[in-house]
A and B are shown apart, each in its own frame.
Chain A
Amino acid sequence: MPENTEKSITGNENTTYLPDFCNGDVFLRLLLVVELIAIVFALVSFGGGSLSIHIGLISVAMLWVGLTTAVLLCLIRRQGWLGSHLQTTLITISVTLLTTLLVSFMSLSLGPVLDFGPTAEDVGYTLARNLSVAAILVGLALRYFYLHYESELHLQVQARARLQALQARIRPHFLFNSMNTIASLTHDQPDLAEQAIENLSDLFRSSLAAEASIALQQELELTRSYIDLETLRLGDRLEVNWRLPEEEPELNLPALTLQPLVENAIYHGIEPLASGGSIEIEILPVNGHMEISISNPVAKKQLGRQREGNRMALENIRERLDLAFSGAASMQVIETETRYTVKLIIPLAEAA
Chain B
Amino acid sequence: MKILIVDDEKPARSRLVRMVGELEDHQLAGEAVNGVEALDMAQSLEPDIVLMDIRMPGMDGIEAARHIARLDQPPAVIFTTAYSDHALEAFETHAVDYLLKPVKLDRLQAAISAAARPTRAQATRSDDLFSELEPRQHICARVRGSLVLVPVEDIYYFHAEQKYVTVRHRGGEVLIEDALKALEAEFGEHFFRVHRNALVNLAALGGMRTDNDVHQITFRDIDDRLEISRRHLPGVRKIIKSL
Q: Which residues of A contact B (CB under 8 A)?
A: 172-173, 175-177, 179-181, 183-185, 187-188, 232-235, 237, 271-274, 302-305
Contacts and interface: CB of A to CB of B under 8 A. Distances in A.
9 contacts: A176-B82, A180-B11, A180-B12, A180-B82, A184-B14, A184-B15, A187-B15, A188-B18, A233-B11
A22 to B, nearest CB: 42
B183 to A, nearest CB: 14
Nearest to B59: A274
Interface in B75-95: 82-83, 85
B11 A274 contact: no
B34 interface: yes
B100 interface: yes
A180 B101 contact: yes
B15 A183 contact: yes
Given A234-B9, A271-B57, A187 B18 contact: yes
Nearest to B17: A184
Contacts of A185: 11
A183 B102 contact: yes
From A176, A234, A272, A303, residue with most partner B Cβ within 10 Å: A303
B57 A176 contact: no
Contacts of B11: 180-181, 184-185, 232-233
Secondary structure of the B side of the interface?
loop
Contacts of A235: 9-10
A177 B101 contact: yes
Nearest to A183: B102
B8 to A, nearest CB: 7
A179 to B, nearest CB: 6
Interface in B25-82: 33-34, 55-58, 82
B237 interface: no
Nearest to B33: A274
A173 B55 contact: yes
Contacts of A272: 57
Contacts of B189: 303-304
B137 A303 contact: yes
A180 B8 CA distance: 13
B211 to A, nearest CB: 33
Contacts of B10: 235
B169 to A, nearest CB: 14
Interface in B90-125: 100-102
B16 to A, nearest CB: 9
Given A177-B9, A179-B101, A184-B15, 18 more contacts: A172-B82, A172-B83, A175-B83, A180-B101, A180-B102, A183-B102, A184-B11, A184-B102, A188-B14, A232-B11, A237-B8, A274-B33, A303-B135, A303-B137, A303-B152, A303-B189, A304-B134, A305-B134
B209 interface: no
Contact of B57 (A177, A184, A187, A274): A274
A255 B75 CA distance: 50
Contacts of B190: 303-304
From A175, A180, A235, A237, residue with most partner B Cβ within 10 Å: A180
